[in-house]
């Protein structure tokens, strides 16, 4: 399933004239733009002597190896072998990957995309939004990161004061329901959260949603009492090298009176703190699991783990979840 899905590997605006190295599911890739501006992805190895093509340069929309200058087109054909009269080859020497651009990201697919697979889009389509991007790399699994992102119950401790306080909890109702490619929690009757971010950025909240969608999108969406979007954070996560996760987070706010640059300046600083706090606990969890690698045990789910078990099942089985919508009362 993973191999026929689209995975984001770079921000679209990051991929300019120079080639870009990235990695997806342990496969090192070079990204570049061909002559028509389209993004292309090849394995990051020259078939001649294994030099990393990402260290080369792009000439006429083709990637040129830094070692002996062989050139490769987006489809993997070798088009030039300097110093010889060798004609361009008609067969590919490198297996090019399906590559496209959508939602501000460059995506690749390891095998031909599955029949229905398209890059998974963020919510809030068709609304006037101010957006900016934040990226990160974390030593953890996709499952741990997705659960962390959507789990409200760590915020009182890991982000104490920033998002919520342990001593100022509120009773709220949560509905958890399956989506055709994921799982969603809908929180209602939650007033403002007790932390700094909520006090600064929100009016009275109506409802908020946390959702996970395959293969790796976690989203948090806050809406006001009139069901207008206040804040939407969409985090696409791509497993790259062993145990490493690349995170592409798009922060979107409703376009309004406050200028986008101002919102971005303040929100970026706050999210930097939040991301650092999450990265720290996630990397502690990964390292600690590693200490116990010869004594493995399954994680113990608690009653407040609203989405984690569903996310685990989705990632392990790649199938829609089959359960009836459930309602919980919690103190968040
Ligand atoms: S290693 Fe790339 S051209 Fe020789
Ligand atoms: Fe967090």
DSSP string, 49-62: T---GGGSEEETTE
Name the residue with the closest Cα to ligand 1, atom 1. 49
Pick the closest to residue 279 from 140, 152, 147 (CA basis).
140
pLDDT at 228 over 70: yes
Domain-located, residue 136? yes
Q: Which one of 54, 70, 71, 76 would you pick to mutate in the ligand 1 pocket, going by the greatest count of ligand atoms within 8 A of its CB?
A: 70
Neighbours of 204 (CB within 10 A): 10
In the prediction, which pLDDT does 198 show? 62
Q: How many domains does the chain have?
A: 2
Domain-located, residue 297? no
Same domain, 323 and 198: yes
Same domain, 30 and 159: no
Return the ligand number nearest the Cα of 66.
1
pLDDT at 119 over 90: yes
Percent of the chain with pLDDT over 90: 76
Domain-located, residue 118? no
In the prediction, which pLDDT does 1 show? 66
Q: Give the domain CATH number at 287.
A: 3.90.380.10
Same domain, 240 and 191: yes
In the prediction, which pLDDT does 190 show? 59
Of 20-34, 106-120, 304-318, the one with minimum mean pLDDT is: 106-120
Rounded average pLDDT over 262-286: 95
Greater pLDDT, 257 or 64: 64
Structure tokens at 284: 């502690």
| Measured distance CA(244)–CA(24) in Å, rounded | 10
In the prediction, which pLDDT does 314 show? 97
In the prediction, which pLDDT does 50 show? 98
Residue 128 carries which DSSP code? -
pLDDT at 85 over 70: yes
Average pLDDT, the chain: 92
CA angle, residues 76, 77, 81, in degrees to nearest 5? 120
155 Cα: distance to centroid of ligand 2 (angstroms): 6
Q: Nearest 5°: phi and psi at 221? A: -130, 125
| Measured distance CA(261)–CA(254) in Å, rounded | 13
Rounded average pLDDT over 266-273: 94
- Contact, 314 vs 212, CB < 8 A? yes
Domain-located, residue 169? yes
Structural domain boundaries enclosing 223: 129-292+302-331
Domain-located, residue 123? no
- Contact, 9 vs 31, CB < 8 A? yes
Domain-located, residue 115? no
Specify burial of residue 166 (Cβ count, 10 A radius: 0-12, 13-18, 19+). exposed
pLDDT at 192 over 70: no
Same domain, 142 and 189: yes
pLDDT at 93 over 70: yes
């Amino acid at each position: 399933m993973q191999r026929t899905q689209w995975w984001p590997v770079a921000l679209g605006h990051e991929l300019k004239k120079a080639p870009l190295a990235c990695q997806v599911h342990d496969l090192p890739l070079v990204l570049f733009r061909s002559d028509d501006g389209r993004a292309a992805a090849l394995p990051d190895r020259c078939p001649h002597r294994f030099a990393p093509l990402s260290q080369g340069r792009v000439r006429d929309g083709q990637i040129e190896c830094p070692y002996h200058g062989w050139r490769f087109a987006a489809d993997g054909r070798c088009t030039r072998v300097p110093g010889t009269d060798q004609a361009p080859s008609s067969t590919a020497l490198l297996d090019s990957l399906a590559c496209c651009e959508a939602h501000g990201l460059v995506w690749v697919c390891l095998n031909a995309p599955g029949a229905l697979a398209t890059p998974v889009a963020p919510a809030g389509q068709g609304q006037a939004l101010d957006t900016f991007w934040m990226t990160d790399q974390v030593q953890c699994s996709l499952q741990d990161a997705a659960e962390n992102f959507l789990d409200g119950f760590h915020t009182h401790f890991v982000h104490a004061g920033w998002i919520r306080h342990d001593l100022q909890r509120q009773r709220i109702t949560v509905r958890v329901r399956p989506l055709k490619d994921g799982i969603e929690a809908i929180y209602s009757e939650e007033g403002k959260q007790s932390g700094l971010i909520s006090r600064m950025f929100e009016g009275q909240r109506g409802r908020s949603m946390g959702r996970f969608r395959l293969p790796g999108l976690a989203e948090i969406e806050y809406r006001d009492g009139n069901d207008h979007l206040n804040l939407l954070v969409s985090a696409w996560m791509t497993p790259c090298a062993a145990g490493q996760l690349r995170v592409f987070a798009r922060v979107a706010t409703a376009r309004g009176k406050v200028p986008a640059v101002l919102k971005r300046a303040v929100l970026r600083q706050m999210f930097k703190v939040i991301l650092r706090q999450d990265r720290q606990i996630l990397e502690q969890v990964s390292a600690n699991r590693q200490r116990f690698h010869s004594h493995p045990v399954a994680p113990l789910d608690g009653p407040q783990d609203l989405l984690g078990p569903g996310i685990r099942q989705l990632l392990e089985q790649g199938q829609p979840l089959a359960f009836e919508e459930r309602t919980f009362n919690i103190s968040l």
